[in-house]
Amino acid sequence: MSEEMMEEGGVVKKFMYVNRKAPIGSIYALESLEVVLIGAAFEQDVCMVFLDDGIYQIVKGMDTNDVEMKNFSPTYRALEMYDVERLYVSKEAMEERGLTTDDLVVDVEVMDASQIADLMEEQDVILSF
Amino acid sequence: MSEEMMEEGGVVKKFMYVNRKAPIGSIYALESLEVVLIGAAFEQDVCMVFLDDGIYQIVKGMDTNDVEMKNFSPTYRALEMYDVERLYVSKEAMEERGLTTDDLVVDVEVMDASQIADLMEEQDVILSF
Amino acid sequence: MLHTVNKSPFERNTLETCLQHAKDGSTILLIEDGVYAATEGTRFSDTIKKAMETKTVCALLPDLKARGMHEKVIEGIKLVDYAGFVDLVEQNERVQAWL
Amino acid sequence: MLHTVNKSPFERNTLETCLQHAKDGSTILLIEDGVYAATEGTRFSDTIKKAMETKTVCALLPDLKARGMHEKVIEGIKLVDYAGFVDLVEQNERVQAWL
Amino acid sequence: MKLGIQINEGPYQHQASDTAYLFTKAALEKGHEIFRVFFYHDGVNNGTRLTTPPQDDRNIVARWSELAEKYNLDLVICVAAAQRRGIVDPDEKKRHGKDADNIAPGFRISGLGQLIEAGIQCDRLVVFGD
Amino acid sequence: MKLGIQINEGPYQHQASDTAYLFTKAALEKGHEIFRVFFYHDGVNNGTRLTTPPQDDRNIVARWSELAEKYNLDLVICVAAAQRRGIVDPDEKKRHGKDADNIAPGFRISGLGQLIEAGIQCDRLVVFGD
């Protein structure tokens, strides 16, 4: 994306959102998603990474009726419309939880820790949740 | 303490305070101590247990000047005056942190997990922090 | 005695400490993020299966459903709703919340 | 790149995940309850010593003192105050906070 | 059975208050007595009437107030924890010279002794937190 | 260097706000520019003027206000997070028909775009949380 380094009206920076926490049990997943959606309007070069329990944020089949919470799971599928298309999940995190990409609501790229480490080093801004 | 089961004006119950969290990084240790001090006025049969990072609450040499917080460490030494005399620490927690009873500001009894489990089963009320 | 565990076993040491201190015959109820420990095929599945040999392991179904985990539950774990949670509290003389 | 870790390694998996994702040559700053990882004689001391072979490990001295841990620090860990923390942020082009 | 409930976390950030609410409601519907709900640590933040959560989500504070009214619940906010975090009733407002209060209907502010008393009086004390 | 600060936890419960404050103060004393301090999640609870902490302890809210005044800091509270948790300024009070506000001096309520803008404008963004 280096050809787009200068956008009309401003800089384009590489933003990475790092999600490491399970959804529902705490609000970090939901409020992190709200940042990503608002951030999309700024037309930066955005990616999301799901590590550790963060990958539970995007598993299929969430039904929050009985805990009486809003189900924000479908919103992840809307990310594409916001041009947030690069979603990465940790290979190690998937494996120790017995999950495969078939369990997830969105298309993701699986990366191992060293690939994610490389990607992290390329960023301008890292937002952690 | 079973001979004291009925005190003037009310029941005496066995209360256990379970402390599992490190001090300073969060307020649970300090506010747990506040419960114990207030609770002392009720003349119940009280003990405190320090498990996991909870044992860091009672290590010697805490100096909070540079983090600009109140140092509540000396208060643990006052527990005796409040008749809170039974303090237990987890043997396993001490060992994996390389701590000995010489590192602690108060006299404690070291117990292994099965002894603590037995003690827990004898309680009427368990307050967790 | 009833023990509740509300943390993911991947994130915290809560489940491990609970199991260390829960006596044979006691009941463990997995709630909130603790229910991830109730699922099949994870690094902790064998830990739970071993615990089930000497203890009763339950999980809160509303929390499993909220997380999309209700179809991955380890066989033999007893699923309860909030009313069942209340019953467990009633049936056990004391409750320790491993927070 | 600077990585900050603010959790006790005994309580959470934060340090472990940080070490998995911190490249050789990067700097790790232990703050808040993360400083327990900087102490000698614990279950994690060897983990930190191994990390120090390829990375720079620092710890926030005010947090060590607040916890009574300043005399137990592993040799070779660089101690900084808040001004030193600011310098580390300045010296590294990006910061990842492992919360 | 006579139940005491302790809540250690505020609304939304952690699930503790949600779980405590659904547990309390289920206990009441089964005919159990809730002696007291004690809000401690950040749990005191459940007692502010100034929240305006999104309309498509649950209103954690309001439903505690409603449950209190329906079942005449005793919702107690710890005074020491509340002072640190800014939960104020008319008395506290006057005492500390504040220009506003924010306590929600059905909640009251009192001391830690109320928690100990719940431990003594209740058949079970159940703690919800992080 | 130009710094952005994000704070994800409220006062007292977690050390995040303390660390962020001492870091921010140190940066200012070294002559760095603080572009913005953004309060998110429970971090919004740092912005209530209704706290009365014990006199022998630090006053977390007041010292943020004082630092803001001394260095003309931009302390921004996220509006969406604030609505969930009950942090209200006069505008929000009017908008949601509340009978009180509780925002502390030196803080303002605004949108999440302010956080993104800080990320774009600053040389470094440093996050403090739990």
User: Domain containing A18 — which CATH number?
Assistant: 3.40.1260.10
Structural domain containing residue B47: 12-128
Q: Is C99 on the interface with E (CB under 8 A)?
A: yes
Give pLDDT, residue B7: 46
Taking CB atoms and an 8 Å cutoff, what residues of chain E touch A37? Answer: none
Average pLDDT of chain D to the nearest whole number: 98
**pLDDT > 60? residue A9:** no
Nearest to E80 among B11, B34, B129 (CB): B34
State yes or no: pLDDT of A1 exceeds 50: no
**Token pair belonging to E124:** 């079970």
Q: Is E87 on the interface with F (CB under 8 A)?
A: yes
* Contact check, Cβ <8 Å, A25/E58: no
Residue with tokens 């999640």: F41
Q: Which residues of chain E register pLDDT less than 70?
A: none
- Could you report the per-residue pLDDT of A60-113, keeping only the tens digit for each? 999 999 999 999 999 999 999 999 999 999 999 999 999 999 999 999 999 999
Q: What is the mean pLDDT of residues A6-35?
A: 90
Residue A37, min C-alpha distance to chain C (Å)? 22
Count the domains in chain E.
Answer: 1
**Radius of gyration, alpha carbons of chain E:** 14
Check: CB of residue F24 under 8 Å from CB of residue F6.
no
On the question of pLDDT at A5 being above 60, the answer is no
* C80: nearest CA partner in chain A: A66
pLDDT at A11: 84
Number of domains in chain A: 1
CB contact under 8 A, F54 and E83: yes
Catalytic option among E3, E37, E76, E78 = E78
Interface subset of F 27-66, CB within 8 angstroms of E: 41-42, 45, 48-54, 61
> What is the span of the domain harbouring residue E53?
2-128
The pTM for the full model equals 0.97
Asked whether the beta carbons of residue E41 and residue B27 sit closer than 8 angstroms, the reply is: yes
- Answer yes or no: is B28 within a domain: yes
Nearest CA in chain B to C22: B117
DSSP chain F: -EEEEEE-S-TTTBTHHHHHHHHHHHHHHTT-EEEEEEE-GGGGGGGBTT----TTS--HHHHHHHHHHHHT--EEEEHHHHHHHT---HHHHHHTT-S---BPTTEEEE-THHHHHHHHH-SEEEEE--
Q: Quick one: pLDDT band at residue F34, thresholds 50, 70, 90?
A: very high
Dihedral sign of CA atoms E30, E31, E32, E36 in order: positive
Q: How far is B35 from chain E (nearest CA, A)?
A: 6
B64 at F interface, C-beta within 8 A: no
Any domain includes B7: no
Nearest to C60 by CA among C9, C10, C4: C4
How far apart CA D2 and CA D97 sit, in angstroms, is: 8
Whether F78 is catalytic: yes
pLDDT digits (tens, 9 = 90+) for D56-79: 999 999 999 999 999 999 999 999
Residue A6 in contact with partner chain F when CB distance is under 8 A: no
Closest residue in E to F54 (Cα) is E84
Domain for residue B73, yes or no? yes
CA-based Rg of chain C, rounded to a whole angstrom? 12
Residue B89 maps to a domain:
yes
User: What domains appear along chain D, each with residue ranges and CATH number?
Assistant: 2-98 (3.40.1260.10)
Query: What pLDDT is recorded for position E90?
Result: 98
Report the CATH number at residue F101: 3.40.1260.10
